[in-house]
Amino acid sequence: MKTYFRCGVKSLCIGLSFLIAFPPLHAQLLPTELNIVVVEGEGAINNVRQRVARAPVVRVEDQNHKPIAGAAVVFTLPTEGATGEFSNGGKSLTMITDNQGLAAAQSLRLNQMAGKVPIHVNASYRGLTARTSITQFSVLPPGAKASSSTGGGHGGLIAVLVVLGAAAAGGGAYFATHKTSSSSGTVVTPPTPVAIGITPGTGSIAGGR
């Protein structure tokens, strides 16, 4: 009986030693850390008139830079400002990496606001997590203006005010000159006011000279 017990304990010890020295294959394949590599989308410049943006694509790798399949990747857009929505109509989209460790946020549509669009990326797999961000830009097409008609109106109004200011300055100079000469006893007759007409919206000035 003692012989069998000793043999069993010895076999158990040998088995444990073998497992420690040579862990199971699936245990050897489990990653110890995650890495996110941006494949496409970083620095992309998108036309706000077209709205469709370049899809961000990432690859999830382990500590040995081998792709990880089955990892969950969450893409998140800003809630305000220059932003957009994913194919599900929301600001967040979850994708699962394929056999090459790739995950893409297809059908990303931007709003009509120009600016920087940061896209946050979070990956998780078997308790491990990693995160990064992808920065894209929404811009107006060349030659486009946000409100060109309004700018022209302000320009006309500024021109009118400049002309009126110059006229007022000239009148002040006229009165100042004649006031000095009146000290000799000469009676000075003020100049006859000249009517000035302003046409609304056109910025033109009409009047006698």
CA atoms within 13 A on the CB side of 132: 17
Burial class (CB in 10 A: 0-12, 13-18, 19+), 73: buried
Q: How far is CA 190 from CA 87, 175, 178, 187, in A?
A: 76, 8, 9, 10
Question: Do 124 and 157 share a structural domain?
Answer: no
Across 1-18, average pLDDT: 56
Centroid of chain to Cα 159? 37
Q: What is the pLDDT of residue 141?
A: 82
Residue 7 pLDDT greater than 70, yes or no: no
Tokens of 30: 């489990």
Question: Do 8 and 19 share a structural domain?
Answer: yes
Question: Do 158 and 96 share a structural domain?
Answer: no
Question: Do 65 and 21 share a structural domain?
Answer: no
Residue 50 pLDDT greater than 90, yes or no: no
Question: Do 166 and 119 share a structural domain?
Answer: no
Q: What is the pLDDT of residue 109?
A: 92
Q: What is the pLDDT of residue 112?
A: 86
pLDDT tens figures, 137-191: 999 887 666 533 334 444 443 333 333 344 444 444 444 444 444 444 445 455 5
Across 186-200, average pLDDT: 52
Question: Do 24 and 84 share a structural domain?
Answer: no
Q: What is the pLDDT of residue 12?
A: 55
Give residue 199's domain range: 148-182+191-207
Question: Do 166 and 70 share a structural domain?
Answer: no
Burial class (CB in 10 A: 0-12, 13-18, 19+), 36: buried
Are 67 and 61 a contacting pair, CB within 8 Å?
yes
Q: What is the dihedral of CA 170, 176, 177, 180, to 10 degrees?
A: 180
pLDDT tens figures, 113-143: 999 999 999 999 999 999 999 999 999 887 6
Task: Give how many domains the chain has, as a whole number.
Answer: 3
For residues 10 and 109, the model is more confident at 109
Parallel, antiparallel or unpaired: strands 84-85 and 109-110: antiparallel
Q: Is the pTM of the predicted complex or chain greater than 0.95?
A: no
For residues 151 and 74, the model is more confident at 74
